[in-house]
Amino acid sequence: MIEKLVQVERRYEEISHQLQNPSVASDQKKYRSLMKEYGDLQSIVGTFRLLRKTQTEISENHQLLKDADPEIREMAKEELKTLNEQGQNFEQELKVLLLPKDPNDDKNVILEIRAGAGGDEASLFAEELYRAYTHYAASQGWQLEGLSVSEGNVGGYKEVIARVAGDKVYSKLKYESGVHRVQRVPDTETQGRVHTSTITVAVIPEQDTEEVKINMTEVRIDVTRSQGSGGQSVNRTESAVRVLHIPTGIIVFCQEGKSQLANRERAFQILYSKLIQLEEDKREKEASDARLSQIGTGDRSERIRTYNFPQSRVTDHRIGLTSHAISEIMNGKMEVLIDPLVVHYKTEALKQSLDK
Protein backbone atom coordinates (compact mmCIF):
# COMPACT_ATOMS: atom_id res chain seq x y z
CA MET A 1 0.00 0.00 0.00
CA ILE A 2 2.85 2.41 0.85
CA GLU A 3 4.37 1.95 -2.61
CA LYS A 4 1.04 2.82 -4.23
CA LEU A 5 0.66 5.86 -1.96
CA VAL A 6 4.10 7.12 -2.95
CA GLN A 7 3.06 6.89 -6.62
CA VAL A 8 -0.16 8.78 -5.88
CA GLU A 9 1.79 11.51 -4.07
CA ARG A 10 4.22 11.77 -6.98
CA ARG A 11 1.32 12.16 -9.42
CA TYR A 12 -0.29 14.77 -7.14
CA GLU A 13 2.89 16.89 -7.13
CA GLU A 14 3.24 16.45 -10.89
CA ILE A 15 -0.28 17.80 -11.46
CA SER A 16 0.43 20.68 -9.07
CA HIS A 17 3.36 21.75 -11.26
CA GLN A 18 1.32 21.36 -14.46
CA LEU A 19 -1.44 23.59 -13.11
CA GLN A 20 1.09 26.40 -12.70
CA ASN A 21 2.03 26.17 -16.37
CA PRO A 22 0.41 29.06 -18.36
CA SER A 23 -0.12 26.84 -21.42
CA VAL A 24 -2.22 24.45 -19.31
CA ALA A 25 -4.23 27.29 -17.78
CA SER A 26 -5.11 28.53 -21.28
CA ASP A 27 -6.49 25.10 -22.26
CA GLN A 28 -9.72 25.06 -20.27
CA LYS A 29 -10.61 21.43 -21.04
CA LYS A 30 -7.22 20.15 -19.90
CA TYR A 31 -7.19 22.52 -16.93
CA ARG A 32 -10.59 21.28 -15.68
CA SER A 33 -9.52 17.66 -16.14
CA LEU A 34 -6.32 18.20 -14.13
CA MET A 35 -8.17 20.14 -11.42
CA LYS A 36 -10.62 17.26 -11.02
CA GLU A 37 -7.81 14.71 -10.74
CA TYR A 38 -5.96 17.00 -8.33
CA GLY A 39 -9.06 17.26 -6.14
CA ASP A 40 -9.59 13.48 -6.20
CA LEU A 41 -6.01 12.85 -5.04
CA GLN A 42 -5.94 15.63 -2.43
CA SER A 43 -7.64 13.69 0.38
CA ILE A 44 -5.47 10.61 -0.25
CA VAL A 45 -2.21 12.59 -0.21
CA GLY A 46 -3.29 14.64 2.81
CA THR A 47 -4.11 11.50 4.82
CA PHE A 48 -0.90 9.79 3.67
CA ARG A 49 1.17 12.73 4.89
CA LEU A 50 -0.61 12.65 8.25
CA LEU A 51 0.16 8.92 8.49
CA ARG A 52 3.82 9.52 7.65
CA LYS A 53 4.04 12.30 10.27
CA THR A 54 2.42 9.99 12.84
CA GLN A 55 4.84 7.18 12.02
CA THR A 56 7.78 9.58 12.50
CA GLU A 57 6.42 10.62 15.90
CA ILE A 58 5.95 6.96 16.85
CA SER A 59 9.58 6.27 15.99
CA GLU A 60 10.74 9.29 18.04
CA ASN A 61 8.71 8.19 21.06
CA HIS A 62 10.16 4.69 20.84
CA GLN A 63 13.57 6.32 21.22
CA LEU A 64 12.32 8.25 24.25
CA LEU A 65 11.37 4.97 25.92
CA LYS A 66 15.13 4.47 26.40
CA ASP A 67 15.58 7.84 28.13
CA ALA A 68 17.17 7.85 31.59
CA ASP A 69 14.38 10.05 32.99
CA PRO A 70 11.42 7.86 34.12
CA GLU A 71 8.95 10.75 33.63
CA ILE A 72 9.96 11.14 29.99
CA ARG A 73 9.65 7.38 29.49
CA GLU A 74 6.14 7.44 30.99
CA MET A 75 5.11 10.39 28.82
CA ALA A 76 6.43 8.63 25.71
CA LYS A 77 4.54 5.48 26.65
CA GLU A 78 1.24 7.38 27.01
CA GLU A 79 1.75 9.29 23.78
CA LEU A 80 2.51 6.08 21.91
CA LYS A 81 -0.96 4.75 22.75
CA THR A 82 -2.57 7.77 21.12
CA LEU A 83 -0.20 7.78 18.15
CA ASN A 84 -0.65 4.08 17.46
CA GLU A 85 -4.43 4.52 17.45
CA GLN A 86 -4.14 7.51 15.13
CA GLY A 87 -1.86 5.56 12.79
CA GLN A 88 -4.33 2.67 12.60
CA ASN A 89 -7.17 5.07 11.83
CA PHE A 90 -5.17 6.75 9.05
CA GLU A 91 -4.26 3.36 7.57
CA GLN A 92 -7.91 2.26 7.58
CA GLU A 93 -8.99 5.53 6.00
CA LEU A 94 -6.36 5.17 3.27
CA LYS A 95 -7.49 1.63 2.46
CA VAL A 96 -10.98 2.99 1.83
CA LEU A 97 -9.69 5.97 -0.17
CA LEU A 98 -7.63 3.68 -2.40
CA LEU A 99 -10.62 1.52 -3.33
CA PRO A 100 -11.50 1.73 -7.05
CA LYS A 101 -13.90 4.62 -7.51
CA ASP A 102 -17.30 4.27 -9.07
CA PRO A 103 -16.81 6.40 -12.22
CA ASN A 104 -20.32 7.79 -11.72
CA ASP A 105 -19.82 9.00 -8.13
CA ASP A 106 -19.07 12.60 -9.09
CA LYS A 107 -22.00 12.87 -11.47
CA ASN A 108 -25.33 14.63 -11.16
CA VAL A 109 -28.40 12.41 -11.27
CA ILE A 110 -31.86 12.00 -12.71
CA LEU A 111 -34.18 11.16 -9.81
CA GLU A 112 -37.40 9.32 -10.68
CA ILE A 113 -40.16 8.56 -8.19
CA ARG A 114 -43.25 6.58 -9.22
CA ALA A 115 -46.33 5.40 -7.35
CA GLY A 116 -46.48 1.60 -7.17
CA ALA A 117 -48.99 -0.58 -5.32
CA GLY A 118 -51.57 1.20 -3.20
CA GLY A 119 -53.35 3.57 -5.56
CA ASP A 120 -53.99 7.10 -4.29
CA GLU A 121 -52.06 6.51 -1.06
CA ALA A 122 -48.95 5.59 -3.07
CA SER A 123 -49.26 8.84 -5.05
CA LEU A 124 -49.54 10.88 -1.85
CA PHE A 125 -46.44 9.24 -0.38
CA ALA A 126 -44.52 9.72 -3.64
CA GLU A 127 -45.01 13.47 -3.24
CA GLU A 128 -43.95 13.36 0.42
CA LEU A 129 -40.76 11.42 -0.33
CA TYR A 130 -39.96 13.79 -3.20
CA ARG A 131 -40.31 16.68 -0.77
CA ALA A 132 -37.95 14.89 1.66
CA TYR A 133 -35.32 14.51 -1.10
CA THR A 134 -35.81 18.18 -2.00
CA HIS A 135 -35.03 19.27 1.57
CA TYR A 136 -32.09 16.83 1.77
CA ALA A 137 -30.65 18.16 -1.50
CA ALA A 138 -30.87 21.72 -0.13
CA SER A 139 -29.05 20.68 3.05
CA GLN A 140 -26.22 19.27 0.90
CA GLY A 141 -25.94 22.46 -1.14
CA TRP A 142 -27.27 20.69 -4.25
CA GLN A 143 -29.64 22.11 -6.86
CA LEU A 144 -32.85 20.15 -7.51
CA GLU A 145 -34.75 20.98 -10.69
CA GLY A 146 -38.13 19.45 -11.48
CA LEU A 147 -38.33 18.08 -15.02
CA SER A 148 -41.68 16.33 -15.22
CA VAL A 149 -44.69 15.78 -12.96
CA SER A 150 -47.76 13.59 -13.39
CA GLU A 151 -50.27 14.28 -10.64
CA GLY A 152 -52.41 11.69 -8.86
CA ASN A 153 -56.21 11.56 -8.83
CA VAL A 154 -56.51 13.00 -5.31
CA GLY A 155 -53.22 14.86 -5.21
CA GLY A 156 -49.69 13.62 -4.87
CA TYR A 157 -47.65 12.32 -7.79
CA LYS A 158 -48.12 9.31 -9.99
CA GLU A 159 -44.65 10.13 -11.29
CA VAL A 160 -42.11 12.89 -10.72
CA ILE A 161 -38.73 13.29 -12.40
CA ALA A 162 -36.06 15.75 -11.29
CA ARG A 163 -32.42 16.57 -11.93
CA VAL A 164 -30.15 16.85 -8.89
CA ALA A 165 -26.87 18.68 -9.46
CA GLY A 166 -23.99 19.32 -7.08
CA ASP A 167 -20.92 17.81 -5.48
CA LYS A 168 -20.75 13.99 -5.63
CA VAL A 169 -24.54 13.61 -5.84
CA TYR A 170 -24.58 10.05 -7.20
CA SER A 171 -22.13 8.83 -4.55
CA LYS A 172 -24.81 9.44 -1.90
CA LEU A 173 -28.10 8.99 -3.71
CA LYS A 174 -27.25 5.80 -5.61
CA TYR A 175 -28.35 3.61 -2.70
CA GLU A 176 -31.86 5.11 -2.78
CA SER A 177 -32.81 3.10 -5.87
CA GLY A 178 -35.44 0.46 -5.19
CA VAL A 179 -38.89 -0.08 -3.71
CA HIS A 180 -39.87 2.06 -0.72
CA ARG A 181 -42.78 0.74 1.34
CA VAL A 182 -45.07 2.89 3.49
CA GLN A 183 -47.37 1.63 6.23
CA ARG A 184 -49.91 4.04 7.71
CA VAL A 185 -53.61 4.84 8.12
CA PRO A 186 -54.76 6.82 5.07
CA ASP A 187 -56.94 9.90 5.56
CA THR A 188 -59.73 8.12 3.68
CA GLU A 189 -59.66 5.09 6.02
CA THR A 190 -62.73 5.20 8.29
CA GLN A 191 -61.94 2.14 10.44
CA GLY A 192 -58.37 3.04 11.38
CA ARG A 193 -56.75 0.18 9.47
CA VAL A 194 -53.09 0.41 8.47
CA HIS A 195 -52.58 0.21 4.71
CA THR A 196 -49.40 -0.82 2.91
CA SER A 197 -48.37 0.99 -0.27
CA THR A 198 -45.20 1.18 -2.32
CA ILE A 199 -43.38 3.63 -4.52
CA THR A 200 -40.33 3.05 -6.69
CA VAL A 201 -37.24 5.23 -6.78
CA ALA A 202 -34.62 5.21 -9.52
CA VAL A 203 -31.39 7.20 -9.37
CA ILE A 204 -29.71 7.42 -12.78
CA PRO A 205 -26.29 9.07 -13.19
CA GLU A 206 -26.48 11.92 -15.67
CA GLN A 207 -24.37 11.34 -18.77
CA ASP A 208 -22.70 13.68 -21.21
CA THR A 209 -24.60 13.85 -24.46
CA GLU A 210 -21.38 13.10 -26.38
CA GLU A 211 -21.23 9.66 -24.78
CA VAL A 212 -24.32 8.38 -26.63
CA LYS A 213 -25.06 8.29 -30.32
CA ILE A 214 -28.75 8.20 -31.19
CA ASN A 215 -30.15 7.51 -34.62
CA MET A 216 -32.73 10.28 -34.90
CA THR A 217 -34.78 8.18 -37.33
CA GLU A 218 -35.47 5.91 -34.31
CA VAL A 219 -36.80 8.78 -32.21
CA ARG A 220 -40.31 10.21 -32.24
CA ILE A 221 -40.82 13.70 -30.84
CA ASP A 222 -44.25 15.10 -29.98
CA VAL A 223 -45.03 18.55 -28.61
CA THR A 224 -48.11 19.48 -26.59
CA ARG A 225 -49.27 22.21 -24.28
CA SER A 226 -47.98 21.95 -20.72
CA GLN A 227 -50.63 20.87 -18.25
CA GLY A 228 -51.29 22.09 -14.74
CA SER A 229 -53.41 20.70 -11.91
CA GLY A 230 -56.61 19.03 -13.05
CA GLY A 231 -55.47 19.03 -16.68
CA GLN A 232 -55.60 22.80 -17.04
CA SER A 233 -53.27 24.23 -19.66
CA VAL A 234 -50.71 26.48 -18.01
CA ASN A 235 -49.75 28.23 -21.25
CA ARG A 236 -50.97 28.73 -24.78
CA THR A 237 -47.88 27.48 -26.56
CA GLU A 238 -46.90 23.89 -27.29
CA SER A 239 -43.88 23.76 -24.96
CA ALA A 240 -44.20 20.27 -23.43
CA VAL A 241 -42.04 17.64 -25.17
CA ARG A 242 -42.56 13.88 -25.34
CA VAL A 243 -39.69 11.78 -26.71
CA LEU A 244 -40.07 8.10 -27.63
CA HIS A 245 -36.99 5.99 -28.35
CA ILE A 246 -38.55 3.34 -30.59
CA PRO A 247 -35.93 0.50 -30.24
CA THR A 248 -36.08 0.45 -26.43
CA GLY A 249 -39.58 1.83 -25.84
CA ILE A 250 -38.20 4.47 -23.45
CA ILE A 251 -40.54 7.46 -23.17
CA VAL A 252 -39.48 10.78 -21.67
CA PHE A 253 -41.90 13.64 -21.05
CA CYS A 254 -40.78 17.12 -19.96
CA GLN A 255 -43.02 20.11 -19.36
CA GLU A 256 -41.50 22.07 -16.49
CA GLY A 257 -39.24 24.22 -18.67
CA LYS A 258 -40.44 27.60 -19.92
CA SER A 259 -39.83 26.81 -23.58
CA GLN A 260 -40.07 23.94 -26.01
CA LEU A 261 -36.30 24.11 -26.57
CA ALA A 262 -35.56 23.83 -22.84
CA ASN A 263 -37.90 20.86 -22.46
CA ARG A 264 -36.44 19.18 -25.54
CA GLU A 265 -32.88 19.51 -24.19
CA ARG A 266 -33.94 18.13 -20.81
CA ALA A 267 -35.85 15.25 -22.38
CA PHE A 268 -32.83 14.20 -24.45
CA GLN A 269 -30.54 14.53 -21.41
CA ILE A 270 -32.77 12.05 -19.56
CA LEU A 271 -32.94 9.78 -22.61
CA TYR A 272 -29.13 9.72 -22.97
CA SER A 273 -28.72 8.84 -19.30
CA LYS A 274 -31.33 6.08 -19.47
CA LEU A 275 -29.76 4.53 -22.56
CA ILE A 276 -26.33 4.40 -20.94
CA GLN A 277 -27.85 2.94 -17.77
CA LEU A 278 -29.56 0.31 -19.93
CA GLU A 279 -26.24 -0.64 -21.53
CA GLU A 280 -24.52 -0.84 -18.15
CA ASP A 281 -27.27 -3.10 -16.81
CA LYS A 282 -26.89 -5.37 -19.85
CA ARG A 283 -23.14 -5.63 -19.32
CA GLU A 284 -23.60 -6.55 -15.68
CA LYS A 285 -26.13 -9.23 -16.57
CA GLU A 286 -23.88 -10.71 -19.26
CA ALA A 287 -21.04 -10.87 -16.72
CA SER A 288 -23.28 -12.93 -14.41
CA ASP A 289 -22.88 -10.30 -11.74
CA ALA A 290 -26.17 -8.52 -12.28
CA ARG A 291 -27.91 -6.78 -9.45
CA LEU A 292 -31.68 -6.60 -9.17
CA SER A 293 -33.38 -4.04 -11.34
CA GLN A 294 -33.24 -0.61 -9.70
CA ILE A 295 -36.93 -0.26 -9.14
CA GLY A 296 -38.32 -3.79 -9.23
CA THR A 297 -42.02 -4.27 -9.98
CA GLY A 298 -43.43 -2.16 -7.18
CA ASP A 299 -45.03 -5.20 -5.57
CA ARG A 300 -45.55 -4.94 -1.80
CA SER A 301 -43.26 -7.93 -1.13
CA GLU A 302 -40.29 -6.12 -2.67
CA ARG A 303 -38.67 -3.36 -0.65
CA ILE A 304 -35.40 -1.84 0.37
CA ARG A 305 -36.94 0.38 3.03
CA THR A 306 -40.13 0.60 5.11
CA TYR A 307 -41.64 3.80 6.52
CA ASN A 308 -43.98 2.77 9.36
CA PHE A 309 -45.85 5.86 10.54
CA PRO A 310 -47.90 4.32 13.42
CA GLN A 311 -44.64 3.20 15.05
CA SER A 312 -42.64 6.29 13.94
CA ARG A 313 -40.11 3.92 12.46
CA VAL A 314 -38.02 3.72 9.29
CA THR A 315 -36.15 0.49 8.53
CA ASP A 316 -33.59 -0.09 5.81
CA HIS A 317 -33.78 -3.82 5.18
CA ARG A 318 -30.43 -4.10 3.37
CA ILE A 319 -28.33 -3.28 6.43
CA GLY A 320 -30.87 -3.87 9.20
CA LEU A 321 -30.88 -0.20 10.21
CA THR A 322 -33.89 1.16 12.12
CA SER A 323 -34.51 4.78 13.05
CA HIS A 324 -37.42 6.21 15.02
CA ALA A 325 -36.83 9.72 13.67
CA ILE A 326 -39.42 9.38 10.91
CA SER A 327 -40.62 12.99 11.21
CA GLU A 328 -37.08 14.35 10.85
CA ILE A 329 -36.34 12.00 7.94
CA MET A 330 -39.48 13.06 6.06
CA ASN A 331 -38.41 16.67 6.62
CA GLY A 332 -35.15 16.04 4.79
CA LYS A 333 -32.73 14.74 7.44
CA MET A 334 -32.06 11.68 5.29
CA GLU A 335 -28.39 11.50 6.25
CA VAL A 336 -29.64 9.32 9.14
CA LEU A 337 -30.27 6.63 6.51
CA ILE A 338 -27.91 7.56 3.69
CA ASP A 339 -24.61 7.98 5.59
CA PRO A 340 -24.71 4.49 7.21
CA LEU A 341 -25.44 2.97 3.78
CA VAL A 342 -22.40 4.69 2.26
CA VAL A 343 -20.19 3.45 5.12
CA HIS A 344 -21.62 -0.07 4.89
CA TYR A 345 -20.99 -0.50 1.17
CA LYS A 346 -17.50 1.01 1.41
CA THR A 347 -16.71 -1.42 4.22
CA GLU A 348 -18.04 -4.34 2.17
CA ALA A 349 -15.93 -3.26 -0.81
CA LEU A 350 -12.87 -3.06 1.44
CA LYS A 351 -13.50 -6.59 2.76
CA GLN A 352 -13.78 -7.94 -0.78
CA SER A 353 -10.56 -6.21 -1.84
CA LEU A 354 -8.69 -7.69 1.13
CA ASP A 355 -10.04 -11.18 0.42
CA LYS A 356 -8.68 -11.16 -3.14
pLDDT tens, residue by residue, 263-311:
888 888 788 888 887 877 776 665 434 334 444 444 444 689 999 999 9
Q: How far is CA 230 from the centre of its chain?
A: 33
Architecture in CATH for domain 2-97: Up-down Bundle (1.20)
- 141 contacts 311 by C-beta, under 8 angstroms: no
Rounded to two decimals, the pTM is 0.70
* Angle in degrees, 0-180, between the axes of helices 70-97 and 335-355, rounded to the nearest 10: 90
What are residue 99's phi and psi, to 5 degrees?
Answer: -60, 145
pLDDT of residue 193: 86
Domain boundary assignment for the chain:
2-97, 109-347
Measured CA to CA, the distance from residue 153 to residue 120 in angstroms comes to 7
pLDDT tens digits, 112-160: 999 988 888 999 999 999 999 999 999 999 999 888 888 888 888 999 9
Cβ contacts of 72 within 8 Å, gap of 6 or more:
64
For the domain 109-347, what is the CATH code? 3.30.70.1660
Measured CA to CA, the distance from residue 65 to residue 80 in angstroms comes to 10
DSSP assignment letter at 290 = P
User: Is residue 300 within a helix (H) or strand (E), and if so which, with residue range?
Assistant: none
CA distances from 313 to 6, 181, 305, 325, 330 (A): 47, 12, 11, 7, 11
Sign of the C-alpha dihedral computed for residues 255, 261, 267 and 269 taken in this order: negative
Cβ contacts of 270 within 8 Å, gap of 6 or more:
110, 147, 161, 204, 252, 254
Rg of the chain over Cα atoms, rounded to whole angstroms, equals 26
pLDDT tens digits, 219-263: 888 887 665 544 444 444 567 888 888 888 888 888 777 788 888
